[in-house]
Amino acid sequence: MDRLVINGNKPLNGEVVISGAKNSALPIIAATLLAHDKVSVANVPHLKDVTTMMELLSQLGAKLTIDEKMTVHVEAGQINHYIAPYELVKTMRASILVLGPLLSRFGQADVSLPGGCAIGTRPVDLHLKALTAMGATIEVENGYIKARCPSGRLQGCLIVFDTITVTGTENILMAATLAKGKTILKNAAREPEIVDLANFLTQMGAKIKGAGTSTIEIEGVESLTGGSYRVMSDRIEAGTYLTAAAITRGKVTVKRVKPDSLLSLLCKFEEAGAELTLGEDWITLNMNDSRPQAVSITTAPYPAFPTDMQAQFMALNSIAEGS
């Protein structure tokens, strides 16, 4: 496709089923490395990043298939390679999420830094600091994180993140599931996607408490089993469609969503003059052919207004009444 031709100047009306959340699917697919048995992950979005994560697991030795319903089947029982190469990691920063599972289950992992040989403070330093506290030895050489577990198993401990980190929380949460003893994560990220990851791990046999709060407790187990799991819907995609309805003075219903994961957005839509109707797994936004009112937003970690919705609301404010 060379271009998109959009004939606008009309309200958007109708219903749309929301896709699976990329930010949930990627860590969940990485977490399948922890399981000895076959794992099936349903409602996976059809995106390049998902394909890249699947290719990475395949290079590590996992067997993957995907069916016509976008369910990914993973068998990680025969992992025989522990290197995540720069060629793949450079195209997707979420590749760092294989570090925790590889190190925890196999005792070793060589994962390229997302930015190669970066100088200065790196976004992954919080991950490395936490894994070191759990007993790992880590060296960074030639753009690669080389992590080893000398005792054969990570040790549970208290970890206090210096700043809130979503991927850091996910990586250490996964690593802690097979660690010896209890791991407590303080100042943990609270995003719904982290709750989804914790639910997936719990279904495979992990013992996790507190996901969705700033303190998560993980009691390590000997092994995790396989199973089937359905990825949550994408709250940012849902918010984007609702914003489009508000901009065009239309009426749109988004389905297969969790309204309670969108509360900060819904408050802003009401402030903009939208009429909202909520169901158990759907949201309808109706502008009643009225121009939206301008709203002020401040982005911050969940449960505050999400950074990934800032651009959409900037577009809304550009045609809204007021300032």
> 136 and 60 in one domain?
yes
CATH number at residue 307: 3.65.10.10
In a domain, 8, yes or no: no
> 295 and 150 in one domain?
no
Task: Please tell me the predicted confidence (pLDDT) of residue 115.
Answer: 56
Task: Please tell me the predicted confidence (pLDDT) of residue 240.
Answer: 98
Instruction: Say if residues 264 and 299 touch (Cβ distance below 8 Å).
Output: no
Task: Please tell me the predicted confidence (pLDDT) of residue 80.
Answer: 87
Residue 313: domain span:
13-18+234-319
List, for the chain, all residue ranges whose pLDDT scores fall below the cut of 50. Answer: 116-117, 119-120
In a domain, 138, yes or no: yes
In a domain, 253, yes or no: yes
Class of residue 322 by CB neighbours under 10 A (exposed 0-12, middle 13-18, buried 19+): exposed
Tokens of 84: 């995540």
pLDDT digits (tens, 9 = 90+) for 275-298: 999 999 999 999 999 999 999 999
In a domain, 217, yes or no: yes
Q: pTM score, two decimals?
A: 0.94
The residue whose two tokens read 């990691």 is 89
Q: Which residues are catalytic?
A: 117
> 283 and 218 in one domain?
no
pLDDT digits (tens, 9 = 90+) for 83-131: 999 888 888 888 999 999 999 999 999 999 875 445 445 679 999 999 9
> 129 and 276 in one domain?
no
Task: Please tell me the predicted confidence (pLDDT) of residue 121.
Answer: 53
In a domain, 3, yes or no: no
Last residue of a domain, one of 175, 208, 230: 230
> 194 and 300 in one domain?
no
> 207 and 66 in one domain?
yes
Dihedral sign (CA 190, 42, 44, 168): positive
How many domains, in total, are found in the chain?
Answer: 2
Helices (H), the chain: 22-31, 48-60, 86-89, 99-106, 125-133, 166-176, 192-203, 235-247, 263-271, 310-319
> 274 and 220 in one domain?
no
In a domain, 5, yes or no: no
